[in-house]
Chains A and B, each alone.
Chain A
Amino acid sequence: MRKEILKMLENNSRIDLHDLAIMMGTDETRVYQEIEKMEKEGIICGYPTLINWDKTGEEKVTALIEVRVTPQRGQGFEKLAERITNYPEVRSVYLMSGAFDFAVFLEGKTLKEVSMFVTSKLSTLDAITSTSTHFVLKKYKDYGIIMLDKPKSSRMKVTL
């Protein structure tokens, strides 16, 4: 049941719990309790909204920063990762396999703001050996959702 709830919420976190319960063939209280438990256990971490900022007047710049680090004795990557996550302008931090160690997604108002952050805050951290910044030009798909305008369905109204 958990897996099914999670899949439904992942698609639509605003789904009516009453409807969700009907669709799963169970009752609302059970769904509600299960969700509450998963929130407490940190399985469900939040319910943010996916926004296509390009369509608003808002100026926003997103960058992917490849970060190479020297793991610190006794604490590996964890301590540094935690430090990086604390900056509010950092949207995501992933530990990666391959040519670099952390993938950091940053969001800022302007190019300058992002580069300032990288040069003055990120690359000055002790364990960081190098960074490489890539600016996002356009988002086509994010979190599994296609951002492009979808052509209208060509399905006919009535077929037998």
Chain B
Amino acid sequence: MRNPLSDTVVQLKPSGIRKFFDVVQEMPDAISLGVGEPDFDTPWHIREEGIYSLERGRTFYTSNAGLMELRQAIARYTYRKCNISYDPKKEILVTVGGSEGIDVALRAMLNPGDEVIIPEPSYVSYVPCVALTGGVPVTIPLQEKNRFKLTEEELLGAITDKTKILVLTFPNNPTGAIMTKEDLEPIARIVREKDLYVISDEIYAELTYGVDHCSIATFPGLRERTIVINGFSKAFAMTGWRLGYAMGPEVILKQMTKIHQYCIMAAPTTSQYAAVEAMNNGEEDVQEMRNAYNHRRRYLVERFKQIGLKCFEPEGAFYIFPSIQEFGMTSEEFATRFLREEKVAVVPGTAFGECGEGFLRVSYAYSLDELKIALGRLERFIDRLRSEKF
């Protein structure tokens, strides 16, 4: 029998921490700070719109690019938030989560051999999605001393004649880093000078604490070079609805829509109706959830200080990324021991790229009570490690 599999797919690296995940599954009584999604239920008025759409029998495909009503709402929302206009007819595509947007954007833009710069630590899908298109992922290990922001020098050092796309993922999962307008300025200049394109994954845009999110698409000349990926999962606590969107210049969006049409057809209709409500009337919910995350963020930063675990103050998303280098263990060893001994799951930094070694991703999408218990156990665990050492 012939080999049924594609070489490219077989060569894709499986997630480096499969083993750790398996251990977590074996421990049903473990508590967790390991989740990458909000702990809030989708606000009721949004859920109700989804239910209502079902009651009304709106169970058919929508147009490929998504409900026009939703695309218009997205355009208005984006203008309100970022002061940038996209034509709902030609420049917005409603996708199955931000993840589909990333995949489709890469596939629409890459030729075999094109290089894509991916700063890490970052969410896990960019490298494999690039590999699937025959593109070449080039990762940049971001530095804690730069607060995990991408610097001009790092970017310049990674650019070759073959570089076509820069992937930007801020606010960042797993580090909680953000890029402000000032941070983005030199990056935008290099993108223009080196004739690059940008895929900017802004799924956590609503979750910044202090400075408002700034999209690189707002810089002069960058709108034509940028695909903005966003979605409903994080801002509106709608992960299970699987709904996101991509925005960018018509010339790219047209091709993305073509791929989307062939492999997805259209995003889920119920989710789209709920999303219209989220865009139009969800502002207050977002504000409330953002406040709650901010409270927890401050609490965690303070607790880590007390425990004496080194970490920079995250300014976005709902993660904190402490360093565990002082213990002389790998992230996975640390996370596995912590799980076995204290029954708390956190994600080893290496899940997000090799440069995540020596760090942990701790999520604060949990209630204060849950955080308190888990942090109490972390403190006990670390005290134990320190006493073992001396």
Chain A positions near chain B (C-beta within 8 angstroms): 4, 8, 15, 19, 22-25, 153, 155-160
| Contact in complex: B295, A157 (CB < 8 Å) | no
| Contact in complex: A155, B299 (CB < 8 Å) | no
| Contact in complex: A160, B299 (CB < 8 Å) | no
Total B residues in contact with A, Cβ cutoff 8 Å: 26
Shortest CB-to-CB span from A5 to chain B, Å, is 12
| Contact in complex: A158, B34 (CB < 8 Å) | yes
| Contact in complex: A155, B30 (CB < 8 Å) | no
Spot the interface stretch: B35-43, B251-259, B379-387.
B35-43
Please report the C-alpha to C-alpha distance between residue A156 and residue B224 in the assembled complex, in whole angstroms: 39
Shortest CB-to-CB span from A152 to chain B, Å, is 12
> Which of B39, B124, B173, B347 interacts with A158 by CB under 8 Å?
B347
Shortest CB-to-CB span from B127 to chain A, Å, is 13
> Which of A22, A23, A24, A155 interacts with B37 by CB under 8 Å?
A155
> Which of B15, B39, B298 interacts with A25 by CB under 8 Å?
B298
| Contact in complex: B298, A158 (CB < 8 Å) | no
Shortest CB-to-CB span from A96 to chain B, Å, is 26
Besides A4-B291, A155-B37, A158-B35, 4 more A-B contacts (Cβ < 8 Å) are: A23-B298, A157-B25, A160-B347, A160-B351
Provide 5 A-B residue pairs closer than 8 Å at the C-beta atoms, listed in order of the A residue: A19-B372, A23-B296, A157-B24, A158-B32, A158-B345
Please report the C-alpha to C-alpha distance between residue A25 and residue B294 in the assembled complex, in whole angstroms: 10
Nearest CB in chain A to that of B368: its residue: A19
With A160-B123, A160-B351 already in contact, the answer to whether A22 and B36 are too (CB < 8 A) is no
- CB-based closest 3 A-B pairs: A23-B295, A158-B34, A157-B32
| Contact in complex: A24, B124 (CB < 8 Å) | no
The residues of B that contact A24 with a CB separation of less than 8 Å are 295, 298
| Contact in complex: A160, B124 (CB < 8 Å) | yes
Indicate if B21 sits at the interface (CB-CB under 8 A). yes
Please report the C-alpha to C-alpha distance between residue A153 and residue B299 in the assembled complex, in whole angstroms: 23
With A157-B24, A157-B345, A160-B124 already in contact, the answer to whether A22 and B35 are too (CB < 8 A) is no
The residues of A that contact B351 with a CB separation of less than 8 Å are 160
Indicate if B302 sits at the interface (CB-CB under 8 A). yes
Please report the C-alpha to C-alpha distance between residue A158 and residue B21 in the assembled complex, in whole angstroms: 7
Nearest CB in chain B to that of A159: its residue: B36
The residues of B that contact A19 with a CB separation of less than 8 Å are 299, 368, 372
> Which of A4, A23, A157 interacts with B299 by CB under 8 Å?
A23
| Contact in complex: A157, B34 (CB < 8 Å) | yes
The residues of B that contact A4 with a CB separation of less than 8 Å are 291
With A19-B299, A160-B124 already in contact, the answer to whether A155 and B24 are too (CB < 8 A) is no
The residues of A that contact B347 with a CB separation of less than 8 Å are 158, 160
| Contact in complex: A157, B30 (CB < 8 Å) | yes
Please report the C-alpha to C-alpha distance between residue A121 and residue B344 in the assembled complex, in whole angstroms: 59
Please report the C-alpha to C-alpha distance between residue A159 and residue B296 in the assembled complex, in whole angstroms: 19
The residues of B that contact A157 with a CB separation of less than 8 Å are 24-25, 30, 32, 34-35, 345
| Contact in complex: B295, A155 (CB < 8 Å) | no
Nearest CB in chain B to that of A153: its residue: B39
Please report the C-alpha to C-alpha distance between residue A159 and residue B298 in the assembled complex, in whole angstroms: 23
Shortest CB-to-CB span from B103 to chain A, Å, is 16
* Chain B 315-352 interface 0/1 with A at a Cβ cutoff of 8 Å (1 = within): 00000000000000000000000000000010100011
The residues of B that contact A22 with a CB separation of less than 8 Å are 298-299, 302
Nearest CB in chain A to that of B124: its residue: A160
The residues of A that contact B302 with a CB separation of less than 8 Å are 22
Please report the C-alpha to C-alpha distance between residue A94 and residue B216 in the assembled complex, in whole angstroms: 54
Shortest CB-to-CB span from A118 to chain B, Å, is 36
Please report the C-alpha to C-alpha distance between residue A4 and residue B15 in the assembled complex, in whole angstroms: 42
The residues of B that contact A159 with a CB separation of less than 8 Å are 34-37
* Chain B 287-304 interface 0/1 with A at a Cβ cutoff of 8 Å (1 = within): 000010001101100100
Please report the C-alpha to C-alpha distance between residue A153 and residue B345 in the assembled complex, in whole angstroms: 17
Please report the C-alpha to C-alpha distance between residue A22 and residue B296 in the assembled complex, in whole angstroms: 9
Nearest CB in chain B to that of A155: its residue: B35
Shortest CB-to-CB span from A1 to chain B, Å, is 13
* Chain B 2-46 interface 0/1 with A at a Cβ cutoff of 8 Å (1 = within): 000000000000010000010011000010101111010000000
| Contact in complex: B24, A158 (CB < 8 Å) | yes
Please report the C-alpha to C-alpha distance between residue A155 and residue B124 in the assembled complex, in whole angstroms: 20
The residues of A that contact B299 with a CB separation of less than 8 Å are 19, 22-23
The residues of A that contact B124 with a CB separation of less than 8 Å are 160
The residues of B that contact A153 with a CB separation of less than 8 Å are 39
| Contact in complex: B296, A156 (CB < 8 Å) | no
Q: Which B residues from 119 to 140 make CB contacts under 8 A with A?
A: 123-124
Shortest CB-to-CB span from A18 to chain B, Å, is 10
Please report the C-alpha to C-alpha distance between residue A39 and residue B25 in the assembled complex, in whole angstroms: 49
Please report the C-alpha to C-alpha distance between residue A125 and residue B373 in the assembled complex, in whole angstroms: 55
Nearest CB in chain B to that of A150: its residue: B41
Shortest CB-to-CB span from B152 to chain A, Å, is 29
